[in-house]
Every structure is written in C-alpha cells, then in structure tokens.
Chain A
Amino acid sequence: MKRKLIIFSAIFLISVIGFSFSERDRKRAIAHIVRHMKRWNIPNRITKAFWSVKREYFVQNRETGRWPSKRAAYSTRPLAIGYGQTISGTRMVAWMTYMSNPQPTDKILEIGTGSGFQSAILSYFGSKVYSIEIVRPLGLDAKKVHAKRGYSSKITTKVADGYFGWKKYAPFNKILVTCGTNHIPPALVRQLARGGTMIIPVGNPYGKQRMIVLKKDRMGRIKTRAYFADHFVPMTGRALQKFRRSRGR
C-alpha cells in the first residue's frame, strides 16, 4: 500500500512539474514567438505588446468552457474558441498589428472581436479600439475578459454585423478585419479616415485568403496592395486533438 502511495505521489509530482507553466516558461514561449516574428521583420515596438498582453486569458473555448493549456496558448497556431471561430495565430496578430502601425492617437475599428486578444494588443499601444463581433456569446465574453483584465477603458465592443462598421465612432484611422469577404465592404472604407489604413483578408472564406492592405489617401482615393495568401484552415475538432496531443495533453 505504502509503495503504491509513493509511486502515485511520484507520478503526480512528475506530472505537476511536467505540465506546470511558470512565468519563466511563459517568457520562454514568448521569446520563441518573438524570434519567429523577427524572421518576418516584425519590429520590437510590436513584439513588446506580446510580452505585456497575456494570451492565456483569451484562449478559452467559449462554447465548451474549456481552457487549453497555457503552453498551447503560447503556440504560434490558431486555437478554437468555440462557435466555429478561432483566436488567430500569433504571427497573424503580429503582422496585422504591424501593418496597422497603431499610434496612441489612433481610433481603430476591429471587425471580428473573437477572443478579444487582437484588440487587447492594439490597446497596448494606447489606441482607442472599437471592436465588433457578430457571434453574441463571443462578443459578450470578450467584453467581460476586457473588463476583468483592465482593457475596457481603451476597448469598446458591440455585438453586430461588422459589414456595416460602426458609424457612431467613425471615422477611424485604422480598420482591421479578421474575417474574409469576397469584396471590401464599402461601409468600412467610408468609415476609414482619409490617410487611414485598412487590413483585410479577401478571398474565399472557406479556402485561401489574400491579405490586402488598403490605403485611403488625403484625396479619398483608394490604393491596395496584396500581400501573402495563406491557408486559414478551420481548426477541426480532430486537428485540435492532434495538436493537443503534440503539446502533451
């Protein structure tokens, strides 16, 4: 009996040590992410935000209520947050933040609050962020998370169809869209201030999407530039399981 107890305790201790995620581990994980970002020329100004905003607060699957491990939260991949939505991978968040070049004086509109992580990152730069989410439970949950973690002074959210933007607070200096459409919604461009920038993935929502950076110049003319096209594979339940297994869960 005593022997069994020792074995169980040993197993328990090993697993606790093995699966625990200390502050040091978090720093290590972020350092890894930052190294990745450096490879894509993401400057320090942007990567600093990732040290400050704790990603593990945002990764809960709102549908099932489950939290993935902290380790998984700091992977570079997207994670399912329920209702068919995902929290974007860190490189996508970093890239979009970099392209939007947030400034303290900026008013930024985000379409697709999702987990609320992107808006939290944007608010780190002192910008005023307005975020719209179409999925009610996600929108409400993101609002709660922002309030709990002290971001709500900089972030205003609402549950609505982002296609029509948020006229009340328009014009915006930057607009970030995190869901794909086959054209750029005219209402969003209308609400973009002159000299402003919009980052939007354009393409088949179920396939590959091309990141477009749209600029509205002082004369109100529109210029776009196409960037990389990437797979936005929906994280299926099976893929997620596989991913979790690979992370030791």
Chain B
Amino acid sequence: MKKYFGGIFFIAMSTLALEIAVIRYFSIALWSNYGYMVISIALFGFGVSGTLLTLAKNWFEKRINLWMYIISLSAVPLAVLAYILMKKVPFNAMQIVNPSYTFTQLSNLALYFIILFFPFFFGGIYIGLAFIAHKKQVSKLYFFDLIGAGTGTLILLILMFIIPPAYLILPIIVFFFSGHILSIDYREIKKNIYIKMGISALVFAVSLVTISFNTKIEYVPQKSIRHTMSSINAKILATRYSPLGLLQIVKSTKERSAPGLSGMSYQMIGKMPDFLGVYVDGNQSSSVMAKLNGSTIDAVKYLPQVAPYLIKDKPGVLILGMGGARSLSVAYHAVRSMNFLDCLKDVWIKENIKIKLKELRKTYKHLNDELYEKHILKHNKTRIENEVNNEWNKVIKDEINRMEKLKPFLNKAYQLTVRKYENKMPSYIHAVELSGQLVELLKNQFSKFNGGILSKGGVRAFQADVRGYLRKSKQKYDIIEMSLALGGGMSSGGNLPSHENYLYTIHSIRDAFARLKKNGILSMTVDAKENLRDALRVFTTSIKALENMKNLKKKFFMFRTMTTATFLIKNGDFTANEIKKLTEFCKNNSFDASYYLGIDPNGNREIFNQEQGENFNVAETKVGPPGQMPVVTEKKEKDKNNILRYSLYKIAISKFVKGGYKEFIEKYPFKIGYVTDNNPYFSYRLKLSKTLKVLFTGKFSEVPYEETNYLILWLNFALAIFFGALIICIPLLKTLFNKKKEEAVSGGKLVLIGYFVCLGFGFLFVEMVLIQKLTLFLANPIYSTSLVLATILAVSGIGSYFSGKLSEKLGSSSKVLLLAVSIIAVMVVLYIFILDPIVRSLMFLPMAVKLIIAMVFIAPIAFFLGMPFPLGLHEVSEKREDFLPWAWGINGATSVASTPLATILSIGMGFKGVWVISILVYALAFFIFPGRLTLKKNKFILNMKL
C-alpha cells in the first residue's frame, strides 16, 4: 500500500500555510482582529473531518487509495475557490449596527465560515485517512504531519518577505498539488494512470490560471487605502511587504494630515506642507511631511505637538513610533517654526528699509555722501523705520493678500531662523520604528521629499519595537513623544485594528517615564475626533501608572483641540511660569487648557472648542444611536429631549480635581478604566452588560459605531457556537441511521461530554492567551500566531505520542493525566507570575533570539497539553466505543467556540484570569477523567477518589 509520508507532509504544510495566508489576507482586506476567526474556521474544518472520519471510517477504508486521490486533488480547486469566494463576501462591519443590514451582515460573517471551511475540512480528511491507511505507522505519519505543519508556517513567514501578500496563495496551491502528486499510488492504479495524471494536470492548470487572475486584494469599503486611492491622481509610490505588514507610501490629495491643527492656523505665513500617506495593511498609520522651507515652516507651530518644545530648551527627544517621521519633523522644526515670524519681520523690515533708503538716495543723488547723511538720512531714517513698521502691521493684517508681499522674503527669513536658533535646536532626537523597511524608505527613496530628516545631525532612527527599546535603552530624554503613534487605529477602535495594544498601558507609560530626565516631559497627543473616550482612557491609564508619585496633580497639563487631546506629564512639578507659557500657547491657538494645577474645572472661562456633550442618564440606557440628531440651536443647553448635556472632559477633570474620579470611571457607560499589559484592549470599551443586553434584545443600533468591535467578537462567538453545534450534530446522524439501538452498557455520558468540553476549552485558552501574550514579546500578531500555532501543533503532537508510552510505563492513564495536568497547572501558574517580567526584560533582544526564546517558553507546556486528549480517547475506546465520534465532535465544537471566547474572556478579566480558568478547567477534567468510570451492573459510575 502507498505510504503517504510525502503527501501528508505537503497537505499539512499547505493547510497551515493557507491558514496563515488567510489571516494575513484578513488583516489587509478587513482587520487583523478577524484573524482569530480564521483559526476558528480552520478548527471547525478539522473538527468536522475528525468526526466524519470516526463515523464513516469503514466506508472510506474500502477504497482508500481512490479517496486519497480525490481528496488530495479536490483540495487544490477548493483552496482556490475558497480564496476567490471569500473576497466576494460583501461584509461591511459598519452596517452591523444598522438594523436594516444587521441580518445581511451577520449572514456575510457566516459566509466566511462556510466558504473557508472546505479546504481545511478536506485537509483534515486527508490527514485522517492517511492515519487510517497506515495504523501501524501512525507515529511516523504524525511526525511528517507535524513537520509539514511547522514547515508550512515557517515557509509562509519567509515567503511573506519575498512575495506580495496578494500572491501568497500561489505557492500554497503548488504545495497542495505537490501533496496530491505524492498521494497518487502509481503501482495500484497503473491501468488508468495516464487518465488520472491528465485529470490532475488539468485541475491544477485550471486552478492556477483561475487564481492567477484573482489575486487582487478586495479592501472593505471602510479601509482607508480604498478611500484614498479613489481620489484623483492618487498614486502608490512605494510598496514593501513582510510579515509585519503590507507597507505602502501613497501620494494623494487626501493626505493632508495635520491632526489637531489649530483653527488659528489661518494666520500662518505660507501654506501647509505636502504629505505622503504611510499605510500599513491598508490602514493609514502615519504620514511623511515634506521638506520644510520658508513657505511651510510656519505651519508647524499651529500643531499641538509643539507644546513641550515651548518649555524645554535644547531638549534630548525620543519619538516612540516614528511612522512616517511627522512627529520627528515637528520636533526638529518646532523651535524654528515658533520663531520664524519674528525672523521674517526682521528680514522684511530690514529689506524694506534698505529699499526705501535706496530710493531716498536716488532722490538725493546730487548730494554727496556726507551731506546726504548729515541732512537727509539723519532726519528721514526714523520716519522710514516707522513707516516700514506700520506697513508691516498692515501687510500682516491683510490675511488674504499678504503672501504676495511676503513671498520674496520667506527663504531669507528661513535661513535667518536656521542661523539664529541653531543653538536652541534639540540636542539629539532619537526615533524608534518597528518597521525597518519604513526606516529604509525614509532614509533613501523619500529622503529628498522629507529633506533628509533622518540624516540630520543629532537625529537617529532605531529599528526596534517601542517597548523593547524603552527597556533596552539607557539614554535619558527631556521630551518623550508618544503622539498619535497608532494613527487613526487607536481612536477608531470600531472596525479598525483593535487587537492588543501594548503602547498605551500603565506598564508602557511607566517604562517611558523611567527614560525621562528630571523635569523631562512625556507628551501624548491622542486623536479625539470621533469620540472622547480614547483621551479619557489615556488620562486614566496615565494617572494609574503614576499613582505612587508624590504631587501627581502638579505633574499634569492637559489641553484639547478641536480633534485631539494632548497630555503633558512632567517628571517633576510644572512651574507657574511653564503653566503660563502653555496656557498662553493654548489661548493663542484656540486650544482649551483643560487641566493644570490651579484650574477651576467648573469656573467660568472662555471655551474655544465646545464638545457636543454627553448625557449620562441617556447614556446609561441608550448609548446614542447613530444618526440621532442632537440639539440644533447653539443657545440651548438642552437637547431635543430636553435633557441637559454635559461636557465629558469638564466632568472628568472636575472629578479628578475634587475627588470621585474612580467612581466616575466606574459609573461611566463605557469602559474608560486603565489599560494594563495583562488586559491591553484599549479599543474595547463596550461594557459586558450592555453587550449582552444588545445581543439578547437585538437592538444593535444602540451600539455606537466606534464600539462595534466588541459586539462583532460576540457575534463571532455566537457563530462559532452555531457551527460548533453543527459538529456535535454529525454524530447524531450515526445515531439516526444506526439500526442497533440497544446498548450493552450505559451511563457516564455526562462525564465524557464534560471531559472533552474541558479539554476543548482548556487547550485553546492556553493557546490563545499565549498568542496574545507573545504579541508583546514578538511585537507583531502574525509572528506570535505563527510561532504559537506551529510550536503547539508540533510539540503537543509529540506529547500525545508519548502519552501512550507513559501510561504503559506508569501502568495507568490516570497517573499520566495527573502528571500532565499538574505540570500544565504549574507551568500556567509560572506564566502568570514570571512571564510578564521575563517578557519585559528580554524585549530588547533581536527578533531571531526572541523567536527561539518564545519557542522554549511554549514547548514544555505544549508537550503536556497534547496528552489529555489521546488519554481520554483511549479510555473511551475501551469503555464506551460508541461515544468515540462524540468525543471528536465535542472537542471540535468547543475548540471552535473557545477561540473567540478566549479573546472575550481576556477582555473581561485579563490574560491572567483566562489562565486561571484554564487551570480550573484542566483540574475539572482530571476529576471527571473517563478512566475513573467504573462499571457497576452495566452502568458506568464516576469514581471521584484521587
């Protein structure tokens, strides 16, 4: 009989590679938080295949070679079809909250499950059949299966550097076909080998041609890249790809990015600089500011990010999350920009006086120099100076037409500013950026555009992840800038990337604070266009991070613009002079100084940017249906329902100053509490009670758009439960068609169900939390997902192989289970206590070393995680063989459902909470282990003795 070692290797490899490729595709075309859905779907496919094989084993066994041929060949067009069809699903996450589209969009979400199910299902069937075909060589087959899975993940990670993400499917199709070629039994089917080879070649050729014409990435309508590219003359100037993401630099009229720009910027001399957009996985992440010159330098001083440079001379600056180096440009040019107008005035007056004096000299050219100076110049100089000064005032006031008069002097003024303020420039600027490709692009291809900002004296760009750099660096800084580091991603959690965010956590803020010099300033500008909750969450997190410091209230200065909020936190106390400078800056720019020591939050002062306001009573019950019209007259304080609306900032600050902030946070209808490394879900703000209420009442429109991410996670969970239930239903088919309904033995069913439910949840909880936790360590979800999946698959497989041998040695599978569960519990407890400190202290290491360390972390627990399932199966096959398909089904179903559930629980109780649950679940599994079932009068009874 044909040995399917090669086939199993390639099929396992292609299935895993497909899983990772689809996760990548979802990250680009949808959002990365949908990646977990793909894991769920893959598990669903494997689950169904396992159950089906257990049920229809004999049926398949009869013509196994033919089935292997058909299934391995079908996998090729199925993968192609799934990949093409998944792009056609018109999923629009935004419409979930629109009652007329909720059902349609929910069906679209379910369509992903159905479409992507087939390739994984066929992959699962193939692997299962190979085991059936060679029962005696299971261990060897298993080895090839695992090695294939690991290789698939690794190869795809490597391919991500070489092949554009849209084309990643092509090699996967080749892998699938290689698996098929190696699955053909050339000896047994000699008769029609040529026909079969012909069919295979044809199917492969058609599949390859079809997929080649369908590689285009179909972005969902809300992806910023799609919107940007729809504008006239939009052009992608550079593209780079790696596992970190698809990086695109885009030129478009929509790239005018100046978040928080003051309304007073209309007074700027010159114009706004040009911008290029930096897009990562189709999301606008930051922008590249064009080289600043005389006609654009003045724009910088109207940005909120310049505030810390007002009170720090010659600062050493650290920019966290450099992106397209916009913040870096601001840091570099802040001093020049703030003094440019003075220099322009000097140049203009000087030049105009020169011109006037020349004219005067011309008028009196008949006089010699001595007479001219004595009688003419002496009397006219002051007059001319006054005249020119008055003229300057007139010119500067004529906002619309002044540029014509000022234009000839701009460059001279700029050069004067550069010369004059050379000694006030930042002494050094360090910028940290995770993407080496972006740093390289900015240094080379776009260096002309950005004026070579990265090559300026004192400027250094480090390719590292922010948290790792903060841990590694010994340098201290006067200003640390963490502004808009996540672009729009942070503020618009709704449907934008909303996976774990380790930048705005209390641990991150503490790490950043530790790098500040005495009296240094940590500056954070947060996007607050669409909702104000982000800003409050950063505020709460900062307060919590620094709660042990003395005089905390003296360390904060907060101001807000029309679209952003800026927090300045000083490693020392703000002085009265500094507060004066900052409040003046705010007043001049129409910004609102919301908090500083001594402010009366309820006092009467001029408000420049009035919020819409929130009503807390309404918000408790109805969190603002989208599209609801608020008050339309400005004079009224009350909205159309005659309910007073409150300024969110005003209330929060008032509570912070006068006490009761904690209670306010708790009472607020959304989660705006602090964020930790243990629960780094910044963008998930919908409270559990509200979510459940919406889910059960179906009033989706009560959820504001920016909070839909949590709701979608729950909907995903609901779908997973639905599909999980389908897996459980398959064994029912057997019961229906089974004619022999008498059972020799009964009882113990609940125990068996309980055991496999526990394993399904426990295993996935540990795995999912490891993926989420290692995202911090490996700085990217795709690295952590690939690594954890590959390692757990491979090592747990080895564990399951050894479980049988161990039980032979120890004499009882109960003992092996006790050993496995105890070690899992000990390891998880260790993770709870030591993983965080270890991860934080080793974050500075190079990526390759970190990958190896992560593997070492995972391997031991993965080994033991692989044991309980085969031990249980073994017991079931001995005691209640009829239950075997159920065991597979239940395990599959719970695995599918536990993927989104792990994330939901992590958001609710943090990673540590989920780990504690996994220990409890495994402990329960130990107590209800099928090995404990003892037969008494044809009925199984659970023996609870230890």
Tell me the A residues contacting B by CB distance below 8 Å: 39-42, 84, 91, 95, 98-99, 134-135, 161, 163, 167, 170-171, 181-192, 202-210, 212-214, 220-231, 233-234, 236, 238
Cβ contacts under 8 Å, B95 to chain A: 233
Interface residues of B in 570-624 (CB under 8 A from A): 590, 607-612
Interface range for B: 35 or more
Are A206's CB and B640's CB within 8 A?
no
11 contacts between A and B (CB under 8 A): A84-B230, A186-B261, A203-B529, A207-B496, A223-B609, A224-B608, A224-B609, A226-B612, A227-B630, A231-B626, A231-B627
Asked whether A190 and B611 contact (CB < 8 A) given A98-B632, A135-B232, A234-B221, the answer is no
Q: Which residue from A202, A206, A221 sits with its C-beta under 8 Å from B222?
A: A206
Q: Nearest CB to that of B272 among chain A residues?
A: A186
Does B260 reach chain A (CB closer than 8 Å)?
A: yes
**Closest CB in chain A relative to B392 CB, distance in Å:** 17
- Complex Cα gap A76–B202 (Å): 54
Q: Nearest CB to that of A167 among chain B residues?
A: B400
Are A163's CB and B256's CB within 8 A?
yes
A-B contact count (CB 8 A): 168
**Closest CB in chain A relative to B224 CB, distance in Å:** 5
- Complex Cα gap A187–B95 (Å): 35
B233-264 near A? 1/0 per residue, CB < 8 Å: 00000000000000000000110111111111
Does B268 reach chain A (CB closer than 8 Å)?
A: yes
Cβ contacts under 8 Å, B630 to chain A: 227-228
Are B562's CB and A190's CB within 8 A?
no
Are A170's CB and B529's CB within 8 A?
no
Interface residues of B in 89-124 (CB under 8 A from A): 90, 92, 94-95, 98
Does B705 reach chain A (CB closer than 8 Å)?
A: yes
Assuming A170-B400, A183-B256, A191-B400, what are 9 further A-B pairs, CB within 8 angstroms?
A187-B266, A187-B271, A189-B266, A190-B400, A204-B492, A224-B263, A228-B627, A231-B627, A236-B92
Asked whether A229 and B261 contact (CB < 8 A) given A91-B629, A95-B632, A134-B232, the answer is no
Q: Nearest CB to that of A42 among chain B residues?
A: B632
**Closest CB in chain B relative to A203 CB, distance in Å:** 5
- Complex Cα gap A208–B257 (Å): 17
Q: Nearest CB to that of A231 among chain B residues?
A: B626
Cβ contacts under 8 Å, A171 to chain B: 400
- Complex Cα gap A220–B399 (Å): 10
Are B90's CB and A222's CB within 8 A?
no
Which label, helix, strand, loop or mixed, suits the secondary structure of the A interface?
Answer: mixed
Which label, helix, strand, loop or mixed, suits the secondary structure of the B interface?
Answer: loop
- Complex Cα gap A238–B257 (Å): 31
Cβ contacts under 8 Å, B264 to chain A: 221-222
Cβ contacts under 8 Å, B224 to chain A: 204-206
Are A238's CB and B90's CB within 8 A?
yes
**Closest CB in chain B relative to A107 CB, distance in Å:** 13
Does B548 reach chain A (CB closer than 8 Å)?
A: no
B627-649 near A? 1/0 per residue, CB < 8 Å: 11111111000001000000000
Q: Which residue from A182, A192, A225, A238 sits with its C-beta under 8 Å from B256?
A: A182
**Closest CB in chain A relative to B564 CB, distance in Å:** 10
- Complex Cα gap A229–B528 (Å): 12
Q: Which residue from A134, A229, A238 sits with its C-beta under 8 Å from B530?
A: A229
Are B488's CB and A224's CB within 8 A?
no
Q: Which residue from B221, B496, B530 sits with its C-beta under 8 Å from A210?
A: B530
Cβ contacts under 8 Å, B633 to chain A: 41
- Complex Cα gap A42–B256 (Å): 33
- Complex Cα gap A75–B742 (Å): 66
- Complex Cα gap A134–B268 (Å): 25
Cβ contacts under 8 Å, A234 to chain B: 221, 227
Query: What 9 pairs across the A-B complex have the smallest Cβ distances?
Result: A222-B263, A189-B266, A190-B266, A206-B227, A183-B261, A186-B265, A225-B610, A40-B629, A222-B590
Cβ contacts under 8 Å, A187 to chain B: 266, 271
Does B494 reach chain A (CB closer than 8 Å)?
A: yes
Cβ contacts under 8 Å, B631 to chain A: 41
Does B507 reach chain A (CB closer than 8 Å)?
A: no
- Complex Cα gap A134–B254 (Å): 12
